A and B are shown apart, each in its own frame.
Chain A
Amino acid sequence: MKKYRKDILSEQVRPKDDLSPEPAYEFDPLPELIKDSATGLHSSRRDFLKLCGYSFALAALSSCRSKISKAIPYVIAPNEITPGDALYYSSSYVNGSDYCSIIVKTRDGRPIKIEGNPRSSMTRGGTNARVQASVLDLYDMERFKEPISNGVPVSWDEADGEITARLKKISYDHGSIVLLTPTVYSPSTEAVITDFIEKFPGTAWVRYDAVSYSAMLEANLISFGRQVIPRFHFDKADVIVSSGADFLGTWLSPVEFTKQFSSRRDPEGSMNYLIQYEAGLSVTGCTADKRIQIRPSQEYALLLNIYREVVKLTEGRESNAPSSPADVRDIAVKLTSSPGRSLVISGSNVKDIQLLVNEINRYLGNIGTTIDFSRYMRTHEAIDSGMADLVSRMNAGDVDALIFWNVNPAYTWYDRDAFTKGLKKVGIAISLSGSPDETSSLVQYICPDNHYLESWNDAEPEKDLFSLMQPVISPLFNTRQMADTLLKWSGSAISYYDFIRSYWAVNMLPRQKEYSDPVAFFDHSLQEGVFETVDKNVRPAALLTRPVSHVFDPSLLKTGDDREALFEVVLYEPVAIGEGRQANNPWLHELPDPVTRICWDNYASISGLQAKENSLTEGDLIDIGGLTFPVHIQPGQAYGTLSIALGYGRKVCGMAGNGVGSDAWPFLTMDNGNVSYTRTLGRIGKTGSGYLFAQTQGHHSMEGRALIRETGLNEFKVNPSAGNELHEHYTRHAKSLYKEREYPHHHWGMVIDLSKCTGCGACVIACQAENNVPVVGKEEVQRVHEMHWIRIDRYYSGDDMDPEVGFQPVLCQHCENAPCENVCPVGATNHSGEGLNQMIYNRCFGTRYCNNNCPYKVRRFNWFNYTGAGTLRGNLRDKAGMTGDLRRMVLNPDVTVRSQGVIEKCSFCIQRIQAAKLKAKTEKRALYPGEIRTACSQSCPANAIIFGDLNDKESEMNRLIRSGRNYNLLEELFTKPSVNYLTRIRNRT
């Protein structure tokens, strides 16, 4: 196991308060050089290194109060830093309700890569695309750089002075101050807020989650007397019924759930069974063993029927239910035959539906087994009615001061007009958000927060599971952490860092017995990244478990059956962009949607049948409810529904994200106290056509080719090679005309388990971050010039209207008989002695012949000067601003940035292989099994990708390769790939 270092600042910055009352990073931490780049001048990487040196030198110079505006070399070189060596720090990714325990890789003082923290029992080393991409947000030039008062940059002192004066006055006048945040699950921040409320009596704290789970919270309060979201154990469930909950993609805690779910997708173990009822095709729907299309309006009827069947089977009692949109008898039998080992969930934000789900789970005995209220989730606690009340109070003129942090209701709130109107009646509006958004553009004061990689914090994503966040770089801009700001306004003299330490000393230290010294305990926790209370004596509060008897209430059945006139719009959170928080992140924009393979856009997905009826074709523009969307014909889309992604159409976020896609939030409505993510609308009208999507996959059928080989679980049980008969056939025929090469030392290879892959795209972004893969922008993707080294092919099979979906990550296969190598005229691609297909960028002059001859089409050509690494001047094509001086800081110095006109491709993360080999060599030992992990393999939340040495016959990878499921892509070509695939096993039982 890697030993993760503690933060340097934790040791070096600490003594500063003996000498100086001010925290170190209140020196102008943005020296000339970076400021220059802000104004468009160039600063080089070297300058940045100096800057980093400067930030470390701060520790030694902290007593010096004069402003330093020059970058100077290290006065005392920090012990930890060896130029060229990476350092790893445990931390936490917290962005609204998104949480992940992470390890941050820094090189020469700058964070460049996020990995999952395997010590977290929640995320278990997994990440997703958003987590992987978050490092890029740090280097966003368009973040707020300093406090702003009415559009004018001011100093923190000025801002603090003016604001505290105003707040004090309001407080004194018994006015009302409102603090509006998303769910805050940092115990220390909660404490800070409590302090703040104490200091400013009359302050109300409203929590608002843009993607809301408040119906679930409210339902749980009714059913179980606890307004919390329990922890789900997908790993303990044999049968999972999900009604519209995309738990592998976006629902609640996808990384955690994917980890749990995939642990049960091994056909040799006991494989679970997932049935998904949904309207639009989601990642979960693609992975499901069975997927049934329903319209949102049918969900209630469907669940009522399941309920009825379950009740009938468990208690033998009949109950009333409307006619069912799908036959649920089979699934009811499945559910009831595994009592306590099943799970029924719904993605709906309708309280009645959630109540029904609770009832079903109760009947199935899942409460306490797969649904755990003792370790409930803390990441989603906001209740919609809170926000609704606030808006009405604002409009009534009842709010004198409104402090926002990390919320963007001017964009996400269903009735944004009411909100903005109300905001005008608020006396003083202050935003503590770190980057510009629609809401902060409407406020008087902006007191920007740090990026999370610049911040100290803690988090409690699940009850009693604590997690620490530490800064891995000094704030790049003149920003201040939100909690520090609140502390400051509350008049507190201590920094948030000290606050956390003391909070932990008081509250956390007693929860464990190993450490008695608070410092040692904190340092240890920091190093681990997580701290879990293992106090078995503490019993969770007893559940109320009040049965709510369900009587069929026809009024709850929306009229959705009128096929002629009505469309049900289903609004969903897209896998990459989410609710739009990271909308200025070009990596995420360019990540193709796992299902539609479209990037840089959102659209209205419609079923093929309905498109035909309305004479719509792909790329037609439609008017629906006054908004215009391009049409995407989506196989598997339920008839009568339109799925539209939220999170797009941002207007204020930065050059990468402004105006990308269309805004779908106005579709939201308030229904029975909760925000409704579905809406029934009338006819759609065609307003135009010919809209071109940036879609990375244009053909969706395997054309009968054995690319994704799959079989059913029963067939597999009989014959482990089921569905993979061709492998034996081709292997038998594969004979070489000449002597085959051997790779005696190492022979790197990979296994990809197609049963586990959910297509989420974490690997794509991880690879992009690790290997400096350029972003090309929407127009270039439309021209099929995208650059990703690993892509996830998605194929539909079977019925066009109701397809089965398969995902297949495809990266360079590192063929032993590589067709690409033969044809390169200059030998720029050849084979290493360790079986790697190497690409020598310096030697490549861009004939593209290798790519033509690559049957897997995994080679990527730099069509333009995307990176600025070319020799010609004035031909840069960087629509997303990725070559800005600051954005470039995310580049991995171990990987060459490719210039215009060269081919690039997956290298199996050769830099990691070399680094590990070097380390083993200096330590005079052999490589540990599994010591090297490629970025894709490491990031995968489903553990679908395993990398290793093919010569290490004992390894898990080779065990899988020897199994009957193993095959190579296009093995009939005898290219002898080093990447192996395992057949996809569907649990069709």
Chain B
Amino acid sequence: MDNKDYISVYFDDEDPMLQALRRLKENNLTIIDVLTPFPVHGIDKLLSVKRTRIPVGGFIFGALGGILAFWFMTWVFTVSYPLIIGGKPFFALPSFVPITFEMTVLFAGLSMAAGMFLRSKLKPDIRFKPADERITDNMFVIVIGSNANTTRESIRTVLSGISIIEIR
């Protein structure tokens, strides 16, 4: 326990946790991570989490999907196997729109989900052990990088006056 290089501070409400977070930042302590049971509003700014570029990826892949679909349909109808269908032109542009749209959405959606899984390293793993089983229930945990100067005691001091459940 003692040779861990991090310290976890437990809260049972987001308000003291946010307060603590502010306090810890003021004290320039390294915050490795914050684990919460739900997305806490305002935490991103405090942790200066950069806005993820998943949507950008989604846009690019979506565009790719759309272009691919459109190109494919055009190729099929004008080059690969042009068929006379209902007297319509081979390059039946309006007809291509629905599928182009669907493919755009499909590619965008899948790429964004994949992006999220990859960036957050979310993968099915039966050996996974959560840090604490209460985190998904009602516990808010700030994980602080520990070193010689940063000990549990020092942190308790820093966070004095804030309702803490425990420090590990």
Direct A/B contact, Cβ within 8 angstroms = yes
CB distance from A692 to the nearest CB of B (A): 38
In the complex, A512 has a CB within 8 A of chain B: no
Residues of B within 8 A of A827 (CB): 83, 85
In the complex, B89 has a CB within 8 A of chain A: yes
What is the number of residues of chain A that contact chain B, defined by CB distance less than 8 Å? 19
B86 pairs with A818, CB closer than 8 A: yes
Interface bits A736-767 vs B (CB < 8 Å: 1, else 0): 10111100000000000000000000000000
| Closest B residue to A816 using CB positions | B87
B85 pairs with A831, CB closer than 8 A: yes
Residues of A within 8 A of B84 (CB): 741, 821, 830-833
Residues of A within 8 A of B88 (CB): 738, 822
Distance in angstroms between the alpha carbons of A821 and B89 in the assembled complex: 13
CB distance from B83 to the nearest CB of A (A): 5
B83 pairs with A817, CB closer than 8 A: no
- Segment 81-118 of B: residues with Cβ below 8 Å from A: 83-89
Distance in angstroms between the alpha carbons of A738 and B93 in the assembled complex: 11
| The residue from A739, A819, A832, A833 contacting B86, defined by CB atoms under 8 A apart | A819
- Segment 803-843 of A: residues with Cβ below 8 Å from B: 815-822, 827, 830-833
Distance in angstroms between the alpha carbons of A815 and B84 in the assembled complex: 12
CB distance from B66 to the nearest CB of A (A): 21
| Closest A residue to B85 using CB positions | A821
Distance in angstroms between the alpha carbons of A895 and B138 in the assembled complex: 74
A830 pairs with B85, CB closer than 8 A: yes
CB distance from B96 to the nearest CB of A (A): 14
- Segment 72-87 of B: residues with Cβ below 8 Å from A: 83-87
- Segment 111-128 of B: residues with Cβ below 8 Å from A: none
CB distance from B92 to the nearest CB of A (A): 9
| The residue from A739, A822, A833 contacting B89, defined by CB atoms under 8 A apart | A739
CB distance from B84 to the nearest CB of A (A): 4
CB distance from B9 to the nearest CB of A (A): 60
Distance in angstroms between the alpha carbons of A738 and B84 in the assembled complex: 14
* 4 shortest interchain CB distances as A-B pairs: A831-B84, A822-B86, A817-B87, A821-B86
28 sample A-B contacts, Cβ–Cβ < 8 Å, listed by A number:
A736-B87, A738-B88, A738-B89, A739-B89, A741-B84, A741-B87, A815-B87, A816-B87, A817-B86, A817-B87, A818-B87, A819-B86, A820-B86, A821-B84, A821-B85, A821-B86, A822-B85, A822-B86, A822-B88, A827-B85, A830-B84, A830-B85, A831-B83, A831-B84, A831-B85, A831-B86, A833-B84, A976-B87
CB distance from B48 to the nearest CB of A (A): 52
CB distance from A792 to the nearest CB of B (A): 27
Where the two chains meet, the residues of B that have a C-beta atom closer than 8 Å to any C-beta of A are 83-89
CB distance from B123 to the nearest CB of A (A): 38
Distance in angstroms between the alpha carbons of A832 and B89 in the assembled complex: 14
Residues of A within 8 A of B86 (CB): 817-822, 831
| Closest A residue to B93 using CB positions | A738
New A-B contacts (18) at CB < 8 Å, excluding given A822-B88, A831-B83: A738-B88, A738-B89, A739-B89, A815-B87, A816-B87, A817-B86, A818-B86, A818-B87, A819-B86, A822-B86, A827-B85, A830-B83, A830-B85, A831-B85, A831-B86, A832-B84, A833-B84, A976-B87
CB distance from A942 to the nearest CB of B (A): 32
Residues of B within 8 A of A817 (CB): 86-87
Distance in angstroms between the alpha carbons of A817 and B87 in the assembled complex: 5
| Closest B residue to A822 using CB positions | B86
Distance in angstroms between the alpha carbons of A821 and B87 in the assembled complex: 9
Distance in angstroms between the alpha carbons of A738 and B85 in the assembled complex: 13
Residues of A within 8 A of B83 (CB): 827, 830-831
CB distance from B128 to the nearest CB of A (A): 44
Residues of A within 8 A of B89 (CB): 738-739
CB distance from A599 to the nearest CB of B (A): 33
Residues of B within 8 A of A819 (CB): 86
| Closest A residue to B76 using CB positions | A827
Distance in angstroms between the alpha carbons of A815 and B88 in the assembled complex: 12
Residues of B within 8 A of A822 (CB): 85-86, 88
Distance in angstroms between the alpha carbons of A820 and B86 in the assembled complex: 7
CB distance from B93 to the nearest CB of A (A): 10
Interface bits A512-526 vs B (CB < 8 Å: 1, else 0): 000000000000000
Distance in angstroms between the alpha carbons of A831 and B88 in the assembled complex: 10
Distance in angstroms between the alpha carbons of A406 and B131 in the assembled complex: 99
Distance in angstroms between the alpha carbons of A831 and B84 in the assembled complex: 5
Distance in angstroms between the alpha carbons of A740 and B86 in the assembled complex: 10
Distance in angstroms between the alpha carbons of A235 and B88 in the assembled complex: 48
| Closest A residue to B90 using CB positions | A741
CB distance from A63 to the nearest CB of B (A): 59
Residues of A within 8 A of B85 (CB): 821-822, 827, 830-831
Distance in angstroms between the alpha carbons of A822 and B83 in the assembled complex: 11
Interface bits A667-699 vs B (CB < 8 Å: 1, else 0): 000000000000000000000000000000000
CB distance from A469 to the nearest CB of B (A): 47
Distance in angstroms between the alpha carbons of A739 and B85 in the assembled complex: 13
CB distance from A918 to the nearest CB of B (A): 22
Residues of B within 8 A of A830 (CB): 83-85
CB distance from B129 to the nearest CB of A (A): 50
CB distance from A741 to the nearest CB of B (A): 5
Distance in angstroms between the alpha carbons of A943 and B87 in the assembled complex: 31
Residues of B within 8 A of A739 (CB): 89
Residues of B within 8 A of A821 (CB): 84-86
CB distance from B88 to the nearest CB of A (A): 7
- Segment 727-741 of A: residues with Cβ below 8 Å from B: 736, 738-741
Distance in angstroms between the alpha carbons of A740 and B83 in the assembled complex: 14
| Closest B residue to A823 using CB positions | B86
Distance in angstroms between the alpha carbons of A820 and B87 in the assembled complex: 11
Distance in angstroms between the alpha carbons of A580 and B74 in the assembled complex: 60
Residues of B within 8 A of A832 (CB): 84
Interface bits A887-916 vs B (CB < 8 Å: 1, else 0): 000000000000000000000000000000
CB distance from B146 to the nearest CB of A (A): 64
Residues of B within 8 A of A740 (CB): 87
| Closest A residue to B87 using CB positions | A817
| Closest B residue to A833 using CB positions | B84
CB distance from B163 to the nearest CB of A (A): 64
Distance in angstroms between the alpha carbons of A265 and B39 in the assembled complex: 87
Distance in angstroms between the alpha carbons of A618 and B85 in the assembled complex: 44
Residues of B within 8 A of A818 (CB): 86-87
Distance in angstroms between the alpha carbons of A736 and B84 in the assembled complex: 16
- Segment 822-877 of A: residues with Cβ below 8 Å from B: 822, 827, 830-833
Residues of B within 8 A of A816 (CB): 87
CB distance from B86 to the nearest CB of A (A): 4
Distance in angstroms between the alpha carbons of A831 and B82 in the assembled complex: 11
CB distance from A746 to the nearest CB of B (A): 14
CB distance from A312 to the nearest CB of B (A): 63
Interface bits A11-28 vs B (CB < 8 Å: 1, else 0): 000000000000000000
Distance in angstroms between the alpha carbons of A741 and B85 in the assembled complex: 10
Distance in angstroms between the alpha carbons of A278 and B32 in the assembled complex: 104
Distance in angstroms between the alpha carbons of A317 and B89 in the assembled complex: 76
Distance in angstroms between the alpha carbons of A819 and B84 in the assembled complex: 12
Interface bits A942-983 vs B (CB < 8 Å: 1, else 0): 000000000000000000000000000000000010000000
Distance in angstroms between the alpha carbons of A816 and B86 in the assembled complex: 6
CB distance from B95 to the nearest CB of A (A): 9
| Closest A residue to B83 using CB positions | A830
Distance in angstroms between the alpha carbons of A831 and B86 in the assembled complex: 7
CB distance from A581 to the nearest CB of B (A): 47
